[in-house]
Amino acid sequence: MADDLRAEFIRFAVDGGVLRFGEFRTKAGRISPYFFDAGLFCDGASLGALAGFYARTLLAAERSGRVAFDMLFGPAYKGIPLASATAVALAQKGRNVGYAFNRKEAKDHGEGGTLIGAPLAGRVVIVDDVISAGTSVGESIDILRANGAIPAAVLIALDREERSGNATQIGERSAAQEVEHSHGIPVLAIAALDDLLRFLDSDDAQGRKLDGHRDRVAAYRSRYGAPADH
Protein backbone atom coordinates (compact mmCIF):
# COMPACT_ATOMS: atom_id res chain seq x y z
CA MET A 1 0.00 0.00 0.00
CA ALA A 2 2.76 2.47 0.95
CA ASP A 3 4.75 1.75 -2.21
CA ASP A 4 1.61 2.14 -4.32
CA LEU A 5 0.87 5.49 -2.68
CA ARG A 6 4.41 6.73 -3.31
CA ALA A 7 4.35 5.65 -6.96
CA GLU A 8 0.91 7.19 -7.42
CA PHE A 9 2.15 10.48 -6.00
CA ILE A 10 5.20 10.62 -8.29
CA ARG A 11 2.98 10.09 -11.33
CA PHE A 12 0.57 12.75 -10.05
CA ALA A 13 3.41 15.27 -9.60
CA VAL A 14 4.85 14.52 -13.05
CA ASP A 15 1.45 14.78 -14.74
CA GLY A 16 0.83 18.12 -13.03
CA GLY A 17 4.18 19.55 -14.15
CA VAL A 18 5.13 19.98 -10.50
CA LEU A 19 7.99 17.48 -10.81
CA ARG A 20 10.14 18.44 -13.78
CA PHE A 21 13.38 17.28 -15.34
CA GLY A 22 16.25 19.28 -16.82
CA GLU A 23 18.87 21.49 -15.14
CA PHE A 24 17.90 23.43 -12.04
CA ARG A 25 20.08 25.29 -9.56
CA THR A 26 19.06 24.54 -5.97
CA LYS A 27 19.28 26.94 -3.02
CA ALA A 28 22.49 25.15 -2.11
CA GLY A 29 24.00 26.02 -5.51
CA ARG A 30 23.90 22.46 -6.81
CA ILE A 31 22.76 21.68 -10.36
CA SER A 32 19.91 19.23 -9.94
CA PRO A 33 18.48 17.14 -12.80
CA TYR A 34 14.98 17.46 -11.33
CA PHE A 35 12.90 20.08 -9.56
CA PHE A 36 9.81 19.81 -7.36
CA ASP A 37 7.67 22.91 -6.79
CA ALA A 38 4.57 22.29 -4.67
CA GLY A 39 3.51 25.88 -5.33
CA LEU A 40 2.38 24.68 -8.77
CA PHE A 41 -0.47 22.74 -7.14
CA CYS A 42 -2.38 25.97 -7.58
CA ASP A 43 -5.99 25.08 -8.33
CA GLY A 44 -8.72 23.46 -6.30
CA ALA A 45 -8.52 20.04 -7.91
CA SER A 46 -4.75 19.63 -7.65
CA LEU A 47 -4.57 21.04 -4.10
CA GLY A 48 -7.38 18.74 -3.02
CA ALA A 49 -5.64 15.73 -4.53
CA LEU A 50 -2.34 16.73 -2.90
CA ALA A 51 -4.06 17.06 0.47
CA GLY A 52 -5.43 13.55 0.00
CA PHE A 53 -1.87 12.23 -0.36
CA TYR A 54 -0.80 14.09 2.79
CA ALA A 55 -3.76 12.70 4.73
CA ARG A 56 -3.20 9.11 3.57
CA THR A 57 0.50 9.31 4.44
CA LEU A 58 -0.20 10.69 7.91
CA LEU A 59 -2.95 8.18 8.70
CA ALA A 60 -0.73 5.30 7.55
CA ALA A 61 2.03 6.52 9.89
CA GLU A 62 -0.49 6.73 12.73
CA ARG A 63 -1.76 3.19 12.08
CA SER A 64 1.81 1.86 12.07
CA GLY A 65 2.47 3.50 15.45
CA ARG A 66 5.13 5.81 14.06
CA VAL A 67 3.27 8.96 15.07
CA ALA A 68 0.33 10.05 17.21
CA PHE A 69 -1.20 13.47 16.64
CA ASP A 70 -3.99 15.81 17.73
CA MET A 71 -3.73 18.72 15.28
CA LEU A 72 -1.81 20.28 12.38
CA PHE A 73 0.36 23.38 12.06
CA GLY A 74 1.18 25.15 8.78
CA PRO A 75 4.24 27.44 8.83
CA ALA A 76 3.93 30.60 6.75
CA TYR A 77 3.70 30.72 3.87
CA LYS A 78 3.49 27.48 1.86
CA GLY A 79 2.49 25.47 4.92
CA ILE A 80 -0.70 27.49 5.38
CA PRO A 81 -2.73 26.10 2.44
CA LEU A 82 -1.12 22.68 2.86
CA ALA A 83 -2.14 22.30 6.51
CA SER A 84 -5.60 23.75 5.83
CA ALA A 85 -6.27 21.42 2.90
CA THR A 86 -4.86 18.42 4.75
CA ALA A 87 -7.21 19.09 7.67
CA VAL A 88 -10.12 19.01 5.22
CA ALA A 89 -8.86 15.76 3.66
CA LEU A 90 -8.46 14.17 7.09
CA ALA A 91 -12.01 15.17 8.04
CA GLN A 92 -13.30 13.59 4.85
CA LYS A 93 -11.60 10.38 5.98
CA GLY A 94 -13.25 10.53 9.39
CA ARG A 95 -10.36 12.11 11.31
CA ASN A 96 -11.41 15.63 12.25
CA VAL A 97 -8.57 17.63 13.84
CA GLY A 98 -7.85 21.30 14.38
CA TYR A 99 -5.23 23.26 12.51
CA ALA A 100 -3.36 26.52 13.03
CA PHE A 101 -0.81 28.63 11.20
CA ASN A 102 1.39 31.63 11.86
CA ARG A 103 1.90 35.06 10.37
CA LYS A 104 5.35 36.36 9.51
CA GLU A 105 4.60 39.61 11.34
CA ALA A 106 2.41 40.16 14.37
CA LYS A 107 -0.95 41.84 13.79
CA ASP A 108 -1.62 44.78 16.12
CA HIS A 109 -5.38 45.08 15.54
CA GLY A 110 -8.41 42.77 15.45
CA GLU A 111 -7.51 39.43 17.01
CA GLY A 112 -3.82 40.44 17.03
CA GLY A 113 -0.87 38.12 17.53
CA THR A 114 0.96 35.84 15.11
CA LEU A 115 -1.14 32.66 15.36
CA ILE A 116 -4.45 31.92 13.63
CA GLY A 117 -6.71 28.90 13.96
CA ALA A 118 -7.19 26.34 16.68
CA PRO A 119 -5.26 26.88 19.93
CA LEU A 120 -1.97 25.02 19.81
CA ALA A 121 -2.26 22.05 22.14
CA GLY A 122 -1.39 18.39 22.36
CA ARG A 123 0.68 16.59 19.73
CA VAL A 124 1.10 18.69 16.60
CA VAL A 125 2.21 17.71 13.09
CA ILE A 126 4.01 20.41 11.09
CA VAL A 127 2.89 20.34 7.45
CA ASP A 128 5.14 21.79 4.72
CA ASP A 129 6.22 21.09 1.14
CA VAL A 130 9.89 20.15 1.52
CA ILE A 131 12.73 20.55 4.01
CA SER A 132 15.66 22.55 2.64
CA ALA A 133 17.91 23.51 5.55
CA GLY A 134 15.56 22.69 8.41
CA THR A 135 15.55 26.31 9.61
CA SER A 136 11.80 26.80 9.21
CA VAL A 137 11.16 23.50 11.01
CA GLY A 138 13.19 24.71 13.97
CA GLU A 139 11.21 27.95 14.03
CA SER A 140 7.92 26.02 13.96
CA ILE A 141 9.07 23.74 16.78
CA ASP A 142 9.96 26.80 18.86
CA ILE A 143 6.46 28.24 18.26
CA LEU A 144 4.78 24.98 19.28
CA ARG A 145 6.80 24.57 22.45
CA ALA A 146 6.39 28.22 23.41
CA ASN A 147 2.63 27.64 23.34
CA GLY A 148 2.76 24.44 25.36
CA ALA A 149 2.24 22.07 22.41
CA ILE A 150 4.30 18.98 21.58
CA PRO A 151 5.95 18.65 18.13
CA ALA A 152 4.91 15.18 16.93
CA ALA A 153 6.26 14.98 13.36
CA VAL A 154 7.00 16.91 10.20
CA LEU A 155 4.93 15.97 7.15
CA ILE A 156 6.33 16.90 3.72
CA ALA A 157 5.56 16.07 0.10
CA LEU A 158 8.99 15.05 -1.22
CA ASP A 159 12.16 14.07 0.63
CA ARG A 160 15.12 14.77 -1.66
CA GLU A 161 17.23 12.44 0.55
CA GLU A 162 20.10 14.81 -0.18
CA ARG A 163 23.02 15.63 2.09
CA SER A 164 23.07 19.13 3.50
CA GLY A 165 25.69 21.63 2.35
CA ASN A 166 26.37 23.19 -1.03
CA ALA A 167 27.97 22.30 -4.35
CA THR A 168 31.41 21.73 -2.82
CA GLN A 169 30.79 21.10 0.90
CA ILE A 170 28.70 18.01 1.59
CA GLY A 171 27.35 17.16 5.03
CA GLU A 172 26.78 13.70 6.46
CA ARG A 173 23.00 13.88 6.90
CA SER A 174 20.08 15.03 4.78
CA ALA A 175 17.95 17.94 5.94
CA ALA A 176 15.24 15.49 7.02
CA GLN A 177 17.77 13.39 8.94
CA GLU A 178 19.13 16.53 10.62
CA VAL A 179 15.61 17.38 11.82
CA GLU A 180 15.09 13.87 13.19
CA HIS A 181 18.52 13.89 14.87
CA SER A 182 18.30 17.43 16.30
CA HIS A 183 14.66 17.48 17.39
CA GLY A 184 13.87 13.81 17.96
CA ILE A 185 10.72 13.75 15.81
CA PRO A 186 10.03 11.76 12.64
CA VAL A 187 9.89 13.30 9.19
CA LEU A 188 7.12 11.75 7.10
CA ALA A 189 7.29 12.17 3.33
CA ILE A 190 4.69 11.18 0.76
CA ALA A 191 7.54 10.13 -1.52
CA ALA A 192 11.32 10.41 -1.75
CA LEU A 193 14.16 10.43 -4.27
CA ASP A 194 14.39 6.64 -4.25
CA ASP A 195 10.72 6.50 -5.31
CA LEU A 196 11.50 8.88 -8.17
CA LEU A 197 14.31 6.60 -9.32
CA ARG A 198 11.98 3.59 -9.24
CA PHE A 199 9.52 5.53 -11.38
CA LEU A 200 12.24 6.40 -13.91
CA ASP A 201 13.11 2.68 -14.11
CA SER A 202 9.50 1.76 -14.91
CA ASP A 203 7.66 1.07 -18.14
CA ASP A 204 5.45 4.02 -17.19
CA ALA A 205 8.42 6.41 -17.46
CA GLN A 206 9.48 4.83 -20.73
CA GLY A 207 5.99 5.35 -22.13
CA ARG A 208 6.19 9.02 -21.15
CA LYS A 209 9.70 9.27 -22.66
CA LEU A 210 11.16 10.20 -19.28
CA ASP A 211 13.42 7.18 -18.76
CA GLY A 212 16.31 9.09 -20.37
CA HIS A 213 16.56 11.18 -17.22
CA ARG A 214 17.23 8.16 -15.03
CA ASP A 215 21.03 8.08 -15.29
CA ARG A 216 21.40 11.79 -14.46
CA VAL A 217 19.13 11.49 -11.42
CA ALA A 218 21.00 8.36 -10.31
CA ALA A 219 24.34 10.16 -10.67
CA TYR A 220 23.03 13.06 -8.60
CA ARG A 221 21.82 10.58 -5.96
CA SER A 222 25.23 8.92 -5.94
CA ARG A 223 27.03 12.24 -5.44
CA TYR A 224 24.75 13.98 -2.97
CA GLY A 225 22.45 11.30 -1.54
CA ALA A 226 22.43 10.74 2.20
CA PRO A 227 23.07 7.20 3.49
CA ALA A 228 20.00 5.63 5.06
CA ASP A 229 21.67 4.89 8.41
CA HIS A 230 22.43 8.52 9.39
Q: Distance between CA 44 and CA 156 in Å, rounded?
A: 19
Specify whether 27 is catalytic: no
Q: What is the torsional sign of CA 156, 130, 79, 122?
A: positive
Specify whether 230 is catalytic: no
Residue 222, phi then psi, degrees to nearest 5: -65, -35
Contacts of 194 (CB under 8 A, 6+ apart): 161, 221
Q: Distance between CA 83 and CA 125 in Å, rounded?
A: 9
β-sheet bridge partners, residue 64:
none
The active-site residue out of 27, 104, 109, 209 is: 109
The active-site residue out of 93, 107, 181, 230 is: 107
Which own/partner pairs from 15-24 qualify as long-range (CB within 8 Å, at least 24 positions apart)? 16/40, 16/41, 16/46, 18/46, 19/158, 19/196, 21/210, 21/213, 21/217
Which residues are known to be catalytic?
A: 107, 109
